[in-house]
Structure 1
Amino acid sequence: MKQIIKIQEPNSLIKHRANQPAFYDGLSQEAKEELRKNLLTEQGHICCYCMKRIPENTSPYMKVEHYKCQDYNADLQLTYSNLFGACAGGEGKPKKLQTCDTQKGNQSLTINLLTNAPNCETQIRYNANGEISSDNDEIDRQLNEVLNLNMQTLKDGRKEIYLSVQKEVEAKSKQIGNKQLKLKYFQQEKEKWLTKKDNKYRQFCMIAVYYLEKKIRQNQN
């Protein structure tokens, strides 16, 4: 997961919310499209949960996720800080192949995508097999049972990134030799993975960042 920094909410959402009573389902198609574009922009076109690339021009290309579900939190259905962009999550497929918002439904999460206290990125672990986990037992349960983020195709995608970055970094480290130059290289690579290209992050970007941060810590000791 990647922490999300919210940008200014769309004017169409503000105007719609001002006309009470107002409901999410009452948003016009134009307003919903503006909302989707806003969410894609602030998330760098990756899913708020699995970090898979959200396609721009295929249907269904994304879902507007209510972090706190509409059924139990009607007062938050138009609150911008409660809205995120999620991938289709295997909608229409068997339950075991569903992920993210599609798998979550009305279930609750405790991991927060926005706050720095704590930053969600610090609560997540990855390994070379592409598995995502947390030292927090409840968050670990949610990653697996609520979001199904260890579904095989997601693990395979993360594993590919982890191993390719590992291979490249290890080869470059042997060439560099000097510890301080290695640190500089790791930092530069980390920044590349945290930088948008054409307003997009690379999918599964945080698994690369996680590996590079581990290398940085190892070489600072």
Structure 2
Amino acid sequence: MNSKMLQIKKNLEPDSLTVYRLTENANFSDCPPDVKIEIKKSLLENQKYICAYCMQRISLDDMKVEHFLPQSLYPNDDLNYQNLFAVCNGNEGSKPDRQTCDTKKGNSILPFSLIIPNLECLVRYRPATGEIVFAEYQQEINSILNLNDSKGYLMENRKSALRALQLKIERKYRNRRASKPELVKILNTIESQPKMSPFAGIMIWYLRDRCNL
């Protein structure tokens, strides 16, 4: 939830998906438009309107539904709500080195889950570059998802999001260092937003790191 990465907490699937799954030969590609819209709305609410991978802002009009386990390899999970996530278009149509997220991932399989508890505690950032550091799975972050894109697009956005937060804290507590309770309050505000700020992952990491959480 996600320049992820944050644990995504799934709500109950939409009733329309539950009903549709019971129909003969049900599959995601042939899913009725109204059911797909309900799925998308539910996924967006789960993820607070940010891409499951890069954490840029997405909406009903510009999102895609990602099958974490690819449809071609795991047909039985085609309509499994736990396998569905909202993602950005990942620079679809661009050269491969500019593609990110699901568009770059294609049919590759990631060795970690987006719904494991405390995923955010396993991920760190380099503030100077905006780079995601996920030591155990760094190759997958770099090559399969391209979240540390060589063109610097996502990393620059993370740096900007972090700098904006730092400036906000500096202005608010101009004459002193913000206390841990004050920083925790800011952290709670960021995490509780119905629509999370784009690239909030690096901001949450920064605040948790300063508070030794």
TM-score (norm 2): 0.91
Deviation at 1:135, TM superposition (A): 2.1
What are structure 1's unaligned runs of at least 5 residues?
Answer: none
Tell which deviates more after alignment, 123-132 or 94-103.
Answer: 123-132
1:96 aligns with 2:100: no
1:120 aligns with 2:119: yes
What are structure 2's unaligned runs of at least 5 residues?
Answer: none
Q: Separation in 2 of the partners of 1:165 and 1:26?
A: 43
SS of residue in 1 equivalent to 2:92: coil
SS of residue in 1 equivalent to 2:135: coil
Check the 8 A contact 1:125/1:134 in 2, yes or no. Answer: yes
Q: Which residue in 1 is equivalent to 2:65?
A: 64
Deviation at 1:174, TM superposition (A): 5.9
Deviation at 1:171, TM superposition (A): 5.5
Q: Tell which has more relative contact order, 1 or 2 (C-alpha 8 A, sep 6+).
A: 2
Deviation at 1:111, TM superposition (A): 2.1
Partner letter of residue 43 of structure 1? Q
Q: Separation in 1 of the partners of 2:18 and 2:133?
A: 37
What value does the CA root-mean-square deviation take over the aligned residues? 1.7
Check the 8 A contact 1:12/1:31 in 2, yes or no. Answer: yes
Q: Which residue in 1 is equivalent to 2:88?
A: 87
Which of structure 1's runs of 4+ aligned residues deviate more than 6 A?
Answer: none
Partner letter of residue 97 of structure 1? R
| Aligned length in residues | 206
Map 1:1-221 to 2 at 5 A.
1-57=5-61, 61-116=62-117, 119-128=118-127, 129-136=129-136, 139-151=137-149, 152-170=152-170, 175-177=175-177, 182-196=179-193, 199-217=194-212
Q: Separation in 1 of the partners of 2:67 and 2:107?
A: 9
Partner letter of residue 187 of structure 2? K
Check the 8 A contact 2:90/2:101 in 1, yes or no. Answer: yes
Tell which deviates more after alignment, 181-190 or 164-173.
Answer: 164-173
In structure 2, do the counterparts of structure 1 residues 24 and 56 end up closer, same or farther at CA, with 3 Å as the change threshold? closer
What is the identity percentage for the equivalent residue pairs of Structure 1 and Structure 2?
Answer: 34
Check the 8 A contact 2:8/2:115 in 1, yes or no. Answer: yes
